[in-house]
Structure 1
Amino acid sequence: MSIAARELNAIVAIAFREFSRAFRSPVPFIVSLVFPILFLGILGGSLAQNLGGGIGFHYLQFVMIGMMVNSIFMETISGMSTLIEERDKNMTQELYVSPISRYSIILGKMIGSGVMNFIGLAGILVVALVLQIPLGGINLIWLLLLTPVIGLVGASLGIFFIGFVRDSKTADAGSMLLVMPQLLLSGAIIPIAQSEGILGFLAKIMPMTYCIDLARAVFYRGQPEYDLIVLHHPFTNLFVMAGFFLVFSVIGSILFARAERNR
């Protein structure tokens, strides 16, 4: 078997392993419902009742899109972080001693985590249906087609993170610390068009800000609310997202592979 074929087989096997493992545990399904209920149903519903009337657009629909992007980031970053836990517990020892590239392991994990995004998205859409949030028709389909691109950015941030992490406890805590500030400051729940000072600066350096803005540009394309909601031109968002992906994935992969060789 050629080296390329061996690496491709390894990537597919690792991705399928991630996908099948998720269906052996009810936790992903429970989390996929709990988070939308908490943030879209309870927090979003409360804010909609107090703020939604004067902002010029359907607030819960606005939050739904932010939660979809946040769910993708949570799943992909968490999926990449499990590499540290599995390594510490020797659950993937056969992978690290096998003659395959560390980069193939990372890519397989990235693909497997990306597929699992659809579990979280399904939970959000179920909650949206219960809350009678307009789903946007064909624009929702375009948004779902965009999710692999968003997943790549989230996964690259996870790769960058594990490049600096050496133990599973730090990985568990750090993955949440990567996601939660972005959830609060990137515009997922609270509009940031008027953010300035330190809050505006933090929003501008967060990858999720541009992913959410692109998702809303796709969802609200051709709608009168577009100019009220979308912050940047879609190509600006894509350019920034591509920059984040390249920097995070290249640096993170090099650091992770180096750490594994030095064990």
Structure 2
Amino acid sequence: MITTAQREGNAMLAIAAREITKGIKNPVLMIVSIVFPIIFIGIMGGSLSQNMAGGLGFNYLQFMMIGMIVNSIFTGLITGMSSLIEERNQNMTQELYVSPISRYSIIIGKMIGSSFTSLVGLIGIVLVALIMQIPLGGMHIVYLFLITPLFCLVGGSLGIFFIGFVQDSKTADIGSMLLVMPQMFLSGAMTPIQHSTGLLGFLAHIMPMTYCIDLARSVFYSGTDMYSKIVLYNPLTDLAVMAGFFLVFTIVGTLMFTRSERNR
């Protein structure tokens, strides 16, 4: 006899497999996820490195590469979770919502599946790093990749929170980009934020991506001379804040999304 835990686990795996299959069958999406970081690191990063990175005291392109790893994951997860709005409006997921499984299982399964596409985007980052001869840091980049599931959880939870308050698919498409872009520019993904003050400093310190990027850099630069110049917080602080964001966003977002589904 199948227990409740087994039923929920099977549901999550089935939903995740469905999302991965959709990603594989949509090569354009896979290509875009790879090309996007290439454009930002190769073109924008190269230009910034040539014009402003001389006095930083560390390799700017390496600094940006780590930020773009986290940003790429956030973009993929938020976009993937936002697609639930379109699927709901087109009645493509009604069989899920009438099935005897938890809404949390549906959301988490979707999050796991969406993580696949976002992690594929890391291939583009590694390619541009090799082409531009950006130091990958040996085992440090491996350690960084090992903790990327943490960034998937936080990015996915932010996507859940977002779709909990959005009803229209067009609004979701535009809003997901408006959710990602400010974080990319204000969280330290592309430029250092150690000295940000006032409104910019406040915004930087309330954005989830800030703490994910800081944890990524603390892992990558651990044991190096650049650590104190680049890392903002203790890694345990980053983890605690990330855990708080994940719990609040997931619980509130799922409750709001479920309520809007019932009110349709």
Matched with 1:123 is 124
CA offsets per residue over residues 178-237 of structure 1, 9 Å max, x none?
100000000000111111111101000100001000000000001111111111111111
Deviation of 1:28 after TM superposition, in Å, equals: 2.4
One-letter code aligned to 2:129: A
Q: In 2, Cα distance between the equivalents of 1:167 and 1:119?
A: 28
Q: In 2, Cα distance between the equivalents of 1:28 and 1:262?
A: 32
- Secondary structure of the 1:54 match is coil
Unaligned runs of 5+ in 1: none
- Report if aligned partners of 1:33, 1:127 keep a CA contact under 8 Å in 2: no
- Report if aligned partners of 1:32, 1:124 keep a CA contact under 8 Å in 2: no
Q: How does 1:76-91 map to 2 (within 5 A)?
A: 76-91=77-92
- Secondary structure of the 1:164 match is coil
Matched with 2:188 is 187
- Report if aligned partners of 1:68, 1:121 keep a CA contact under 8 Å in 2: yes
Deviation of 1:37 after TM superposition, in Å, equals: 2.2
Q: In 2, Cα distance between the equivalents of 1:219 and 1:69?
A: 12
Q: In 1, Cα distance between the equivalents of 2:30 and 2:10?
A: 28
Deviation of 1:245 after TM superposition, in Å, equals: 0.8
CA offsets per residue over residues 125-154 of structure 1, 9 Å max, x none?
111111111111101111001100111000
**1:218 and 2:219 are equivalent in the alignment:** yes
- Report if aligned partners of 1:28, 1:119 keep a CA contact under 8 Å in 2: no
Q: In 2, Cα distance between the equivalents of 1:33 and 1:119?
A: 7
Q: How does 1:90-169 map to 2 (within 5 A)?
A: 90-169=91-170
Q: In 1, Cα distance between the equivalents of 2:6 and 2:222?
A: 42
- Secondary structure of the 1:53 match is coil
Q: How does 1:1-263 map to 2 (within 5 A)?
A: 1-263=2-264
Q: In 2, Cα distance between the equivalents of 1:145 and 1:87?
A: 33
- Secondary structure of the 2:54 match is helix
One-letter code aligned to 1:127: V
User: Normalized against structure 1, the TM-score is what?
Assistant: 0.97
Deviation of 1:254 after TM superposition, in Å, equals: 1.0
Deviation of 1:111 after TM superposition, in Å, equals: 1.0
One-letter code aligned to 1:202: L
Sequence identity (%): 66
- Report if aligned partners of 1:15, 1:110 keep a CA contact under 8 Å in 2: yes
CA offsets per residue over residues 52-95 of structure 1, 9 Å max, x none?
22100000000000000000100111111111110111122221
- Secondary structure of the 1:99 match is coil
Q: Which moved more, 1:112-121 or 1:139-148?
A: 112-121
One-letter code aligned to 2:112: I
Q: Which moved more, 1:232-241 or 1:33-42?
A: 33-42
Deviation of 1:20 after TM superposition, in Å, equals: 1.1
- Secondary structure of the 2:32 match is helix
Q: Which moved more, 1:161-170 or 1:95-104?
A: 95-104
Q: In 2, Cα distance between the equivalents of 1:54 and 1:46?
A: 15
Unaligned runs of 5+ in 2: none
Deviation of 1:96 after TM superposition, in Å, equals: 2.0
Deviation of 1:118 after TM superposition, in Å, equals: 1.8
Q: In 2, Cα distance between the equivalents of 1:154 and 1:81?
A: 12
Q: CA RMSD in A?
A: 1.1
How many residue pairs get aligned? The number is 263
One-letter code aligned to 2:158: L
Deviation of 1:166 after TM superposition, in Å, equals: 0.7
Q: Which moved more, 1:175-184 or 1:249-258?
A: 249-258
Deviation of 1:34 after TM superposition, in Å, equals: 2.2
